[in-house]
Amino acid sequence: MIVQEALLKRKSVRAYLNKPVTNEQIKSILDLAKHAPSGVNTQPWKVDVVTGECKTRLQKKLLKAFQTGAPRDMDYQYYPLEWKAPYSTRRAACGLQLYHSVGIEKGDKDKRLTQWAANYRAFDAPVMLFFTMDSVMQTGSFLDFGMFLQSLMLAATAKGLATCPQGALAEYATLVKEELQIPADTILLCGMALGYEDTTAPINTYRTPRLELEEFVRFHT
Ligand SMILES: Cc1cc2nc3c(=O)[nH]c(=O)nc-3n(C[C@H](O)[C@H](O)[C@H](O)COP(=O)(O)O)c2cc1C
């Protein structure tokens, strides 16, 4: 598959087949993603691959933390503290599309929460990935890491697999680090679901829109 196809095909997948992905498959994707560029070749990325009983245990703990209202302790501030247009509008549209695809009405808070909780099970994907970097790293390394993550998702797409990057999986950072024995002086950036797309699931049927080039590009001559 050429890069153009993978770029267009990749999407966030939130329902997976109960079909295992082998460690060889995972390694082959990571072996491609590691070619991502990074400032002075720091390669700040560290990856924890979680499957089997470890995944079940971690999912249970994450779900419990969410359901009991445990305080979130994300290692960095992902989103703006104060939302403003057009980002607030896009955010709302993104949520609406997702909930609409599974027939959840705008005001149905309970069903929305239940759907959101699926995040902590990585949408029942056979593989959960967790991404961390040393806490001495600064903002520039977040750029490097983003390139690694997109490379990984494109490589997975090219190999017939699906992904969903998940900030939600970094919300209980201490819990994840303890469970996976990741050093405390580490930034947990996000998680990712990896597996085979359930193409029959309504939640996987929609695509998110993108801006036209005129809306975000300026040419200077
Ligand atoms: C770093 C990152 C974190 C994300 N976190 C979540 C998440 O926690 N849960 C979720 O359902 N989607 C999450 N997403 C997926 C976005 O909602 C999705 O990328 C966006 O709506 C565009 O849709 P697409 O990926 O299908 O093109 C995340 C995406 C990124 C890049």
119 Cβ inside 6 Å of ligand 1: yes
Of 191, 174, 172, the closest CA to residue 130 belongs to 191
Is 94 inside a domain boundary? no
Torsion on CA atoms 190, 196, 202, 206, rounded to nearest 10: 60
Is 51 inside a domain boundary? yes
Whether 39 shows a pLDDT value over 70: the answer reads yes
Is 89 inside a domain boundary? no
Instruction: Determine the average pLDDT of the residues in 33-54.
Output: 98
Testing ligand 1's pocket by substitution, the residue of 99, 128, 149, 166 carrying the most ligand atoms inside 8 A of its CB is 166
Q: Which domain holds residue 139?
A: 8-79+121-200
Taking the complete model, does pTM exceed 0.75, yes or no? yes
Is 41 inside a domain boundary? yes
d(CA 14, CA 193): 8
Is 30 inside a domain boundary? yes
Determine the atom of ligand 1 nearest the C-alpha atom of 13.
Answer: 26
Of 169, 172, 221, 197, the closest CA to residue 15 belongs to 197
Q: Please, what is the end-to-end C-alpha distance for the chain in angstroms? A: 35
pLDDT, residue 73, reads 97
Is 194 inside a domain boundary? yes
User: If pLDDT is split at 50, 70 and 90, which confidence band does 1 have?
Assistant: low
| Domain CATH for 174 | 3.40.109.10
Phi/psi at 28 (5° precision): -65, -30
Lowest mean pLDDT of 1-5, 27-31, 170-174, 204-208, name the range.
1-5
Q: pLDDT tens digits for 165-195?
A: 999 999 999 999 999 999 999 999 999 999 9
Whether 66 shows a pLDDT value over 70: the answer reads yes
Phi/psi at 78 (5° precision): -75, -55
94 Cβ inside 6 Å of ligand 1: yes
Is 87 inside a domain boundary? no
Nearest CA owner, ligand 1 atom 29: 165
Whether 100 shows a pLDDT value over 70: the answer reads yes
What's the total number of domains in the chain? 1
